[in-house]
Amino acid sequence: MDRFADRRFDDGWRLTTRDPLADVPFRLRNEILPAAAFDDVAPSLYRWIADGRGRLLLWRRLAGPDLLRLGAGAQGLSWRNALDHADRRQLIEAAAQDAPAPRTVRLQLAEEEERRRWRIRMRRTRGADGATLFVGTAEDVEAAQQALDAAVAESREDYRWSVALSPQVPWTASPDGRIEEVGPRFSELTGLPAQEALGVGWSSVLHEEDVPGVLALWDQHLASGEPIDVDYRIRLREGDYRWMRARPAARRDDEGRVVRWYGTLEDVHDRHETERELAESEERFRLAVQSARLGIWDFDTATGKRSWSAELRTMLGVSPDVEPTAELALSLVHPDDRDRLRVMLQGVATGAVPPHFEDMLRIHRATDGALRWIRSTGWTMRCDADRSTRIVVTFFDVTEEQVSEERIRWAATHDAMTRLPNRALWQEKLDAMADAAKVSGESFALLLLDIDDLKRTNDSLGHDAGDALLCAFAKRLAAAAPPDAVIGRLGGDEFGLISPALGSAAELEAWGSALIEDLRRPHVHEGRSLDCGVSMGAALFGGDAGDRGDELFKAADLALYASKSAGRGRLTLFHSSLRCEAQQRSSMIRMARQVIADDLLMPYYQPKVDLRTRQVTGYEALLRWCHPRLGVQSPASIVAAFDHGEIAVALTRKMLDAVLRDLMRWLDAGRDPGSVAINASAADFTHSGFADSVLERLVAAGVPTRHLEIEVTETVFLGRGADQVATALRCFAQEGVRVALDDFGTGYASLSHLKHYPVDVLKIDRSFVSNMDQDPGDAAIVDAIVKLGASFGMEVVAEGVETEGQAQLLLAHGCPIGQGFHLGRPQPFDVITAKMR
């Protein structure tokens, strides 16, 4: 018990003190304070001076009783007689140091038989003459030690009484948790001698049910050093058990290491019993309310008894006479859910089940094997030592609700037509696969697949045929895909595929070729054969394509765009230049928007010339625009904008407005420019009011329709909105606006388009004209087009006439109109009109 004097028990430090001078008048205090009476309580302190050889020159008392009497002739070296050999050596060594530490020595005083301990401090210095001197102090430490011993003894006695009278039991333990001291009241309560309670002996009086939990908790906090607050039962001297509250905390050193544990033990039996009775009452009421009309499983951990309610047996298809065992429950649970139930049962056995838990289990009913979804909700009644005493679990059949949720969940993540994952689920799997590949270092391929000309199938054969083609494509894609592939329909005619098996460019190329070959087999729908081509863009994880899902998707999308631009029906693997091309396209589109916003567009006019008379019969308006710094730019600088529907339409409108202004100027000047052709894109015809808009502008400008020609390429017949194209062209023809088919012979238009669409002019593509004087095949094509146009009553214009020889050959084949640099370069309006004067 002697070490409790320095422990952190508050009661042991509360000492009653009183100032003995509290009632002394202030004047009398001033008289007492400087008095020599304080020398009786202060330790003796002397100053001394010695020369460089250690001879004592002078000493003087500063405080305390005059004890330092070294006898006659103490000056000089005779003081050494009061020291033994070891202490003399100690002082000599200290004198040799520049800043010696204090030394404690024993001096034999003249009037005393025993030596007395003194603390010697010294410093080397120099006198006025430069000689070495030693100055120092000598302090009596014997009296201070005696006073300290007396104080410690008093502190121990004070603490002994405070501990004896406290209702709590204080105790201390070593850093490893072994009890080192315990208050005497512990023995009074338990009858266990204090000596036997040390170490781990105290646990012998714990209730046997509390021992494992309390010791485990103690070990846990010994490792963490955190304070503990736990209740447990101890056996009293009479054999009864009472609830006690233990609250130990650790004292740490400056480096955070546990030095010692200090704790108290407090009787909380009455409070605990009251709370337990109240909790049990509330728990019974709560369980009775929540368990109404539910299947109930009741488990008593103390006895190991399990009971199943009649409702639960009905849910499980178990007869009333069957014993409710854990093995039976496990056998009824779906194999995929069985491990979760097994873990819960193990937790019940070990007391590791949380106070409240919920789970969803699938079971096969014992009577008919039907699969049912069961929601379970459990409550655990625990004692304060964290030991389960009773577990009640309620069960509710939620099969119908679960099936409905599964349907909704599936519909939210899958495409209803092809039954493939939709874009959201596919993108989620892509992101997860990319994250896994970063860790594993393995690669995988991402492919984007676009069905070629699905819109044409929808328009020509109906949407039911298009839907059938989509489903057939999805089946063939799934059949051809590697086993590890994740396929999804991303929207419209676009599909996505992710596969670790296609981890190299060679594997991708081989697989893509096989898929294209497989798709060449026609799809049959209601007796009709449906053609199906596919354009593909692919990217491999890592490298230039990126290592994130969104980066990989963008890379594959750029490759898909390249496949479509190159003529469709092929696979393109992403390479870094595609990103540069995409950036260039983006730059072109931004520039085109700026051209429209700042009204920088200006038409250049290239004449169409009668090869017989060399007279100008009309013009083609070619798009140019004026850069603020670089001057006039060709349409090649913004060519990507013509594939952008919104911008292409805006450019056409700007071009039409500019051409109409120039036509008005021509007509106002009394000149006849003939027919001026402007190019219309496929995007223009997607707007149902395109023809009406053009005609309204003609009327507003006062320009006769015979002066305007709409020039289109064969692609307008093949793209979306073919019905709108036909309607617009017929409207133009009825109002006298001529329609020219540009670049004839290079596209995929059927000759039947010449019969079904009102085309007035056929323009022979420059690729045939440029080589017709050297290539008999090109000459034959030119001859065929001229005759075809004549048979349909169409005017034929040859583009790209660069030489006089080409002009003569065209005349020889019956082509009367030519257009090209040899006949006239594109020029702005002012230059053209200047030549007409």
Based on the fold, state whether residues 395 and 501 are members of the same structural domain. Answer: no
Is the pLDDT confidence value at 716 over 80?
no
d(CA 539, CA 543): 10
Question: For residue 393, what pLDDT is reported?
Answer: 83
**Cα–chain center distance at 665:** 64
Residue 797 has pLDDT above 90, yes or no: yes
pLDDT for position 823: 92
- Asked if 622 and 549 sit in the same domain, the reply is no
Same domain, residue pair 446 and 338: no
**pLDDT reported for residue 15:** 32
Give the pLDDT mean for 581-587.
80
29 assigned to some structural domain: no
More confident residue, 285 or 134: 134
Please give the average per-residue pLDDT across 362-378, as a whole number: 86
Which of 232, 267, 302 is the endpoint of a domain?
Answer: 267
Q: Is 767 found in the same domain as 694?
A: yes
Mean pLDDT of the chain: 82
- What percentage of the chain has pLDDT greater than the value 90? 21
Q: Which residue has the higher pLDDT, 8 or 557?
A: 557
HSE, side-chain direction, 13 A CA sphere, residue 583:
5
The pLDDT, as a whole number, for residue 23 is 44
Q: Which of 376, 403, 430 is the last residue of a domain?
A: 403
CATH number of the domain enclosing 118: 3.30.450.20
**DSSP letter string, 486-533:** EEEEEETTEEEEEETT--SHHHHHHHHHHHHHHHTSPEEETTEEE--E
HSE of 191, CA atoms in CB hemisphere, 13 A: 10
Kindly state whether residue 346 falls inside one of the protein's structural domains. Answer: yes
Encoded tokens for 62: 């500063």
745 and 651, same domain (yes or no): yes
Q: How many structural domains comprise the chain?
A: 5
* pLDDT, position 383: 59
Mean pLDDT along residues 347-362:
76
From residue 276, give the alpha-carbon distance in Å to each of 233, 281, 520, 579. Answer: 14, 9, 79, 72
- Answer yes or no: is 154 within a domain: no
**Residue 742's Cα: distance from chain center in Å?**
53
Q: Is the pLDDT of residue 37 over 60?
A: no
Count of C-beta atoms within a 10 Å radius of residue 680: 27
- The confidence score (pLDDT) of residue 189 equals 86
Q: Which two tokens stand for residue 441?
A: 């270092």
- The pLDDT assigned to 722 comes to 67
What CATH number did the domain enclosing 506 receive? Answer: 3.30.70.270
Angle at 814 between CA 808 and CA 815, to 5 degrees: 75
Long-range CB pairs of 198-205, under 8 A, 24+ apart, other chains included: 205/234, 205/235
How far apart are alpha carbons 640 and 582 in whole angstroms? 10
Instruction: Quote the CA–CA distance of 539 and 559 in Å, as a whole number.
Output: 8
Token pair 């009394």 is found at 670
For residue 224, pLDDT beyond 80: yes
Q: What is the DSSP string of 36-63?
A: GGGGGTSPPEEEEEEETT--EEEEEEEE
Residue predicted with more confidence, 349 or 635: 635
Count Cβ atoms below 10 Å from residue 188 Cβ, excluding itself: 12
**Pick from 249, 245, 242, 244: nearest CA to 263:** 249
pLDDT, residue 811, reads: 92
Residue 150 lies in a domain: no
- Determine contact, residues 261/172, Cβ cutoff 8 Å: yes
CB 447 within 8 A of CB 538: yes
In a domain, 10, yes or no: no
Report the largest interatomic distance among the alpha carbons of the chain, rounded to a whole angstrom.
Answer: 156
In this structure, are 278 and 255 located in the same domain? no
**297-345 tens-digit pLDDT:** 887 777 777 888 888 888 888 888 888 888 888 888 898 888 888 887 7
Query: Residue 242: how many CB atoms within 10 A of its CB?
Result: 17
Considering the domain architecture, whether residues 345 and 309 belong to the same structural domain is answered as yes
What pLDDT score was predicted for residue 430? 92
Residues with Cβ within 8 Å of residue 215, at least 6 apart in sequence: 203
pLDDT tens column, 432-487: 999 999 888 888 999 999 888 777 777 667 788 888 888 888 898 899 899 999 99
Is the CB of residue 806 less than 8 Å from the CB of residue 787?
A: no
Q: How many C-beta atoms lie closer than 10 Å to residue 477's C-beta?
A: 23
Structure confidence at residue 313 (pLDDT): 86
Q: Is 798 contained in some domain?
A: yes
Residue 449 lies in a domain: yes
Would you say the C-alpha torsion 70, 72, 75, 81 has a positive or negative sign?
A: negative
Output the pLDDT for position 16: 34
Q: What is the mean pLDDT of residues 354-378?
A: 84
Do residues 625 and 762 both lie within one domain? yes
Contacts of residue 548, defined as CB under 8 A and 6 or more positions apart, other chains included, come to: 431, 434
Residue-wise pLDDT for 49-102, tens only, equals: 988 888 888 888 888 777 776 654 456 777 788 888 888 888 888 888 888 989
Domain carrying residue 106: 44-140
Under 8 Å between Cβ of 48 and 56: yes
Q: What is the pLDDT of residues 554-579, one digit of tens each?
A: 988 988 888 887 777 888 898 888 87
Looking at residue 102, the DSSP 8-state letter turns out to be P
Does the pLDDT of residue 661 top 90, yes or no? yes
Band (pLDDT 50/70/90 cuts) for residue 147 is: low
Averaged pLDDT, 747-761 = 73
**Which domain-ending residue is among 244, 267, 290?**
267
Which range of 12-16, 169-173, 376-380 scores highest in mean pLDDT? It is 169-173
Q: Are residues 666 and 775 in the same domain?
A: yes
Is the pLDDT at 113 greater than 80, yes or no? no
The stretch 650-668 carries a mean pLDDT of 92
Residue 349 is predicted with a pLDDT of 65
β-strand partners of 555: none
Pick the closest to residue 512 from 472, 481, 552, 550 (CA basis).
481
Pair 244, 295 in one domain = no
First to last CA, the chain: 128
The predicted model gives 732-754 an average pLDDT of: 78
Residues 242 and 292 in one domain: no
**Residue 20 maps to a domain:** no
What is d(CA 732, CA 71) in angstroms, rounded to the nearest whole number?
A: 142
Together in a domain, 786 and 697: yes
Q: How far is 653 from 673, CA to CA, in rounded Å?
A: 21
